[in-house]
Amino acid sequence: MDRKIVFIDIDGTLFDNLNNKVHQSTIEAINKLKENGVYVCIASGRSMALGDEVFLRYQLAFDGYVLINGQFVVLNKEVIYKKPLNKKFINEFINECNSLDIDYGFVTNDETFISSNSPKVNKAFADFKMNVPRLITEKDLHKDIFQGLLFDKTSLNYFSQKFKSYVKLIGWISNGADIIDKDASKAIGMAKICGKLGIKRENVYAIGDSNNDIEMIEYANVGIAMGNAKESLKEVADYVADDISEDGLAKALKEFKLI
């Protein structure tokens, strides 16, 4: 029998940010998927370092990781794909943020760093129940950077238009946006993993809750939106689960007889 694969988003899907926890039903569901021979993978905007804030706390491990919105992909502990941001864009972006007095940050797979500890920046990380990162140094800008962070929701349209030849911006529920390569998506990372494992599209399931999950949900044969998901995601999903606080992930997996 062909093996199935499930891709799970972190924030709002695996991890209940509002209640600062992974529900026991979710942990049991992940374990049951593995027992049933289903590949279980993460597909998140987080880096591995930020993901580990959740994984290590609950001793969770997965077969694969589509990280930083598809720009860094790991399968069986091996990096199989990565696509850093254009260095020219990074320099132009920093100059623009500085001229407009807007806070920003960057994400490598190992670290996140920020331009300041302003209230807006601190609130963004508090909303996601993440630790506030350290400040950027000149040395950091020579590393492979896979994602930018913009801490000013009112400027999304301006930055989207100004840098559209390089990147696209994905707004958060709170006060900012992820900035990724214009051609990047979780779907690309999913395809990389499925290709390596020989998984057919008909055996791909995905579960998410936000705008950066739209391409992931559309790529999967069965795309599931959490009950707490944005309406834009529910509109493209094949199935809408219960809210994360109501054991929505586990119930959805049972609905499709994966557990």
Q: For 76-101, what is the mean pLDDT?
A: 96
Domain ranges of the chain: 5-82+185-255, 87-181
pLDDT tens digits, one per residue of 194-213:
999 999 999 999 999 998 99
- 5-82+185-255 matches 87-181 in fold: no
Q: For 147-175, what is the mean pLDDT?
A: 90
The per-residue pLDDT of the chain, averaged, comes to: 95
pLDDT higher than 90, residue 130: no
CA dihedral 244, 247, 248, 249 (to 10 degrees): 100
pLDDT higher than 80, residue 172: no
Residue 171's pLDDT is 82
> pTM for this structure?
0.90
Q: For 36-43, what is the mean pLDDT?
A: 98
What are the Cα distances from residue 182, in Å, to 52, 71, 144, 162, 165?
26, 11, 17, 13, 7
pLDDT higher than 90, residue 129: no
Give residue 174's pLDDT band: very low, low, confident or very high (50, 70, 90): low
pLDDT tens digits, one per residue of 41-61:
999 999 999 999 999 999 999
The length of the chain, given as a count of residues:
259
Residue 118: phi, psi to the nearest 5? -70, 160
Q: What is 5-82+185-255's CATH topology?
A: Rossmann fold (3.40.50)
CATH of domain 87-181: 3.30.1240.10
pLDDT higher than 90, residue 22: yes
